[in-house]
Amino acid sequence: MTEQPQDALNTRARAQGIQVALAVSLYGISFGALSVALGFSIGHTMVLSLLMFSGASQFAFIGIIGTGGVAAAGAAIASAGLLGIRNGLYALRMSPLVGPGFWKRALAGQLTVDESTAVAIAQPNEESARHGFWASAVALYLGWNLATLIGALAGDALGDVRTWGLDAVAAAAFLGLLWPRLASREPIAVAIAAAALTVVLIPVVPAGIPVLAAAAVGIVLAMYRHRVAPEAPSGGEEKAA
């Protein structure tokens, strides 16, 4: 690497973080619109973005209750939680970077998601990683929540989900979240197994259950692959950006 002053690296890290945050924030518009169109109030929608603040978990929650009703609430909670596990692992990675201080760590905890972690990991050294993490984290939190509100207000005006194809947008959103993770044969095989199991189960079990069965398949296959190929790369956990 060519010698670059630390200030320049920090500035570049912050700029990268803000760019990523702006791009991903726009996607909060579709979350807000979809959530309201599926029957959630603007209050529900905003609490999800403000408190849960993790795109995949938020979409899973509204998707499962939106199609399965409150009867699927258990499955919605479990799916949102399982999708949140990776944030905990990101937090382990970010922990030394964030450093000591209760409030600083609590704030970092809320803001540790795919994007802030990806921006931090992409930086050449620890100081610029710290700049990248905080810039993307804060910009994304503000942008995501503002976009959710705009989407929720727009969704309120849209009315029926199906007329505007918003049900298909939800499916496409999950595909878009999945896509960057399909970088090797292992996650592709797991995705195919999970998709096939879901098709088979949908007609025979209550809504929400196929998703949990798929999660169980993911756990079993991860344990099996860990035993037969412990060194192989995992399911592209840091590929998302």
Partner 1 sequence: MTVWIALVASALIVWALKNAGYLFPPRFVEGALMSRIAGLVTVALLASLVVSQTLQSDDGVAVDARLPAVGVAAILLYFRAPFLVVLLAAGAVAAGLRFFGFLG
Residues 82-121 that bind partner 1 (CB under 8 A): 82-95, 98, 105-106, 108-110, 112-113
Rounded to whole angstroms, the Cα distance separating 197 from 220 reads 14
- Of 11 and 217, the one with the shorter C-beta distance to partner 1 is 217
Q: If binding is defined by CB under 8 A, does position 153 make contact with partner 1?
A: no
Residues 6+ apart with CB under 8 A from 118: 20, 238, 240, 241
- Which of 14, 40, 123, 148 is close enough to bind partner 1 by CB under 8 A? 40
- Of 21 and 214, the one with the shorter C-beta distance to partner 1 is 214
Residues 6+ apart with CB under 8 A from 206: 68, 71, 72
Stated length of the chain: 241
In this chain, which stretch among 5-13, 73-81, 126-134, 148-156 interacts with partner 1, using CB under 8 A? 73-81
Rounded to whole angstroms, the Cα distance separating 198 from 217 reads 11
174, two tokens: 């999950």
- Which of 54, 123, 128, 148 is close enough to bind partner 1 by CB under 8 A? 54
- Which of 77, 150, 153, 154 is close enough to bind partner 1 by CB under 8 A? 77
| Shortest reach from residue 99's CB to partner 1, in Å | 11
Q: If binding is defined by CB under 8 A, does position 8 make contact with partner 1?
A: no
Q: If binding is defined by CB under 8 A, does position 48 make contact with partner 1?
A: yes
Residue 117's nearest CA partner among 23, 21, 34, 203 is 21
Residues 169 to 188 in contact with partner 1, rule: CB under 8 A: 169-179, 181-182, 186-187
- Which of 8, 15, 142, 202 is close enough to bind partner 1 by CB under 8 A? 202
